[in-house]
Amino acid sequence: MEDTVDHFIYVVGTHNQIGSPLDYLKKIAKKPQRLLSLDEIASEIKKIKQELIQLSESKDRWTKPLDGGTDVPAGSYETEKEMYLPGHDYSIRDEELAGIDKNKQTLISSLKFEDPSLRIIVVWGMGGIGKSSLANNVYKNEGFNFDCRAWVSISQSYKLEDIWKKMLTDILKKDKKEFDLGTMDSAELREKLIKTLDK
């Protein structure tokens, strides 16, 4: 795009230069060449416009807008939910992980910090830098140090009921208690989770 604009500026700029009468005659002789250059520029702009239209259509095909204006992949919620199961893409052996020792120790220290006001630990950063691998590694290797644990990944599209159910399932499975989460609504699931964690 920039090359096309630069070429246009050059062609228009050379046309508008004022010179001697001889220069004027040369310009008249070169007029067909200048028109050819402008035609090439117009063709390039049409190609760029077509590519932008194709990109826009491609984006519309692969994403769907949310009420808040954010775009998420158009795949079904169930398919997306399966991608965030423990060990799905981030089941990496300890010896395969590189450069996470400092962040791993920081995360472990934060988990073991005995401050009752500490409720959430956030692992954040650009996509693809190993956040899920780090969290999964700590979850698997340090989970036995805690009374209960649950692996819950939250993507851009989620259902609160599924989060509560997943947490309760992971927490209660060690007690092997019988429970029917399928009939509970979001408020009941939340209340059961609070009572379970208070024990």
CA distance 88 to 85: 5
Looking at residue 1, its pLDDT comes to: 58
Looking at residue 31, its pLDDT comes to: 58
CA distance 149 to 153: 13
- Whether residue 72 is predicted with pLDDT greater than 50 in this model: the reply is no
Partners of 71 in beta bridges: 65
Looking at residue 147, its pLDDT comes to: 81
Burial of 164 (0-12, 13-18, 19+ CB in 10 A): buried
pLDDT band at 127 (very low <50, low <70, confident <90, very high): confident
Reported as type and span, the H/E element at residue 64 is strand 63-65
- Looking at per-residue pLDDT, the higher value among 6 and 134 belongs to 134
The sign one gets for the Cα dihedral 91, 93, 99, 105 is positive
CA distance 81 to 75: 10
Looking at residue 195, its pLDDT comes to: 87
Residue type, 5: V
pLDDT digits (tens, 9 = 90+) for 155-195: 777 888 888 888 888 888 776 666 677 788 888 888 888 88
pLDDT digits (tens, 9 = 90+) for 100-125: 889 899 988 888 887 777 777 888 88
